[in-house]
Amino acid sequence: MASPSHLLLIALLLPALASFSNAGKIAVYWGQNGYEGTLAEACNTDLYGYVVLAFLTTFGNSQKPVLNLAGHCDPPSGTCRYLSAEIRQCQSKGIKVLLSLGGAIGSYWLSSSDDARNVSRYLWDNYLGGSSSSRPLGDAALDGIDFDIEHGSPDHYGDLAQSLVDLGKQAGTRVYLSAAPQCPFPDQLLGPALRAVTFDYVWVQFYNNPSCDYSSGVSAIVRAWITWTSNLPSSTVFLGLPASQNAAGSGYIPPEDLISKVLPAIKPLSSNYGGIMLWSRYFDGISGYSIAVRPYVLSDQIDKPNSVPQIDKANSLNVREE
């Protein structure tokens, strides 16, 4: 049995050991603003480890699925199929590209377990490793599916997630699952699915929720972070943030505060820290947020920097303001 002095030493060393194992990546949502630049341009910045295509806004309950990529292209006319080449380009750089289901607006719900399985088959055939004559994005296979369920019922999303995993296993491939719950725990709509199935990535939305976002201070974020990471030990958890003050109603963290206050507070607390998620590529392109914070998000150190880098707009993303 270890002596009390040895136990004390271990306790003192644990935070230091954690500081060498907490490297992260940046995830970003792309697709909801025609001024945000192309998918290939987003990936060519080398800022992101994950790009989430937003959104499939209509699905379930026997509805015809609808993909909405805002001003980028028109799926019904086939003008989004050019994205296959850009998806492959992103994947060749090691970037995972996922399709997001849901969003703040749209018509989506699952009426039964059979309905969930039907939706999973549609996603497999039209966006993942299956085949269909009507694939909206062409023949490139996406890496996985993101769940951004913001209204409706929580029912059967666990069935949908499990069915996607099963389809991948049957084909000898992996379907990555991600989710974007709100920071109050548990999320009312995604909570049952997150309990039922292990999601690979969970980018918790620490914005538009004053009780647990930065408008209530670092301590509010820390409390919620501990809850999420401890309840999802097998998932990689991300701090979801707005990329500018205009990107959300609350929760914006200035880059210097993220670097010097928030990241040093949360990184030592869990081994499943994954980095940050940003809403969205458009706002990130205008603010240069990811450029300013990326070295500290990716770093496996948790020491506070001596100085905070200034955002270099000249080297920011190729994005036009509306």
Query: Which residues lie across from 240 on neighbouring strands?
Result: 205, 277
Query: For residue 263, what is the enclosing H or E element?
Result: helix 263-266
Query: Per-residue DSSP letters for 84-109?
Result: HHHHHHHHHTT-EEEEEEEESSSEE-
Q: How far apart are CA 148 and CA 151, in angstroms?
A: 9
The CA–CA distances, whole Å, from 52 to 71, 203, 296 equal: 16, 11, 22
Catalytic residue among 150, 256, 321, 322: 150
Q: Which contiguous run of DSSP H or E holds residue 30?
A: strand 25-30
**Which of 99, 57, 49, 31 lies closest to 277 in space, CA to CA?**
49
Q: Is 41 a catalytic residue?
A: no
Nearest to 203 by CA among 96, 305, 310, 292: 96
What are 72's two structure tokens? 């980028």
| Bond into 186 cis (ω within 30) | yes
Residues 6+ apart with CB under 8 A from 254: none
The residues annotated with a catalytic role in the active site are 150
